[in-house]
């Protein structure tokens, strides 16, 4: 989900989302490239380039750089298709972040296949 859109004229337009490098380290780790769509505006045409940035305070937390998307606003849903594979085994709880839910889309239907982590999940093994 989009949190903030920050347009720096003449530099870049950043779209900050509630995911990031803890959920998908592959772009930061070895430059994996992804496509993205604004899921709630999928029929709209792209009007400008944006860079999709994650929520972490790291300069490398970039999920997709310079992609042409329709106008994006806070609350929009960004989908990055075909990013599954190794995301879960490579994911971390960096900065005590919770791992996201995982949705499988098959034949046009969405199926929740893993629920979002809770704070209890994160602290379950802590003894103090």
Domains defined for the chain, CATH in brackets:
2-123 (2.40.37.10)
Q: What is the pTM of this model?
A: 0.89
Q: Can you tell me the distance from the alpha carbon of 93 to that of 126, in angstroms, rounded to the nearest whole number? A: 14
CA distance 54 to 45: 23
In terms of Cα–Cα distance, which of 4, 36, 37 is closest to 18? 4
Burial class (CB in 10 A: 0-12, 13-18, 19+), 65: middle
Can you list the alpha helix ranges (DSSP code H) found in 31-90? 87-90
Three-class secondary structure of residue 72 per DSSP: coil
- pLDDT tens series, the chain, 128 aa: 999 999 999 999 999 999 999 999 999 999 999 999 999 999 999 999 999 999 999 999 999 999 999 999 999 999 998 887 788 899 999 999 999 988 888 998 999 999 999 999 999 999 99
Q: Which residues are catalytic?
A: 57
């Amino acid at each position: 989900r989009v949190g903030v859109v920050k347009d720096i004229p003449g530099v870049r337009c950043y779209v900050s989302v509630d995911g990031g490098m803890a959920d998908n380290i592959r772009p930061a780790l070895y430059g994996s490239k992804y496509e993205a769509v604004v899921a709630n505006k999928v029929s709209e045409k792209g009007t400008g380039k944006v860079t999709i940035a994650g929520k972490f305070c790291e300069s490398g937390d970039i999920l997709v750089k310079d992609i042409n998307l329709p106008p994006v606003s806070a609350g929009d849903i960004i989908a990055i298709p075909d990013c599954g594979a190794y995301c879960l085994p490579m994911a971390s709880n960096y900065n005590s972040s919770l791992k996201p839910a995982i949705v499988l889309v098959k034949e046009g239907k969405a199926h929740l296949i893993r629920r979002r982590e809770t704070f209890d999940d994160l602290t379950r093994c802590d003894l103090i």
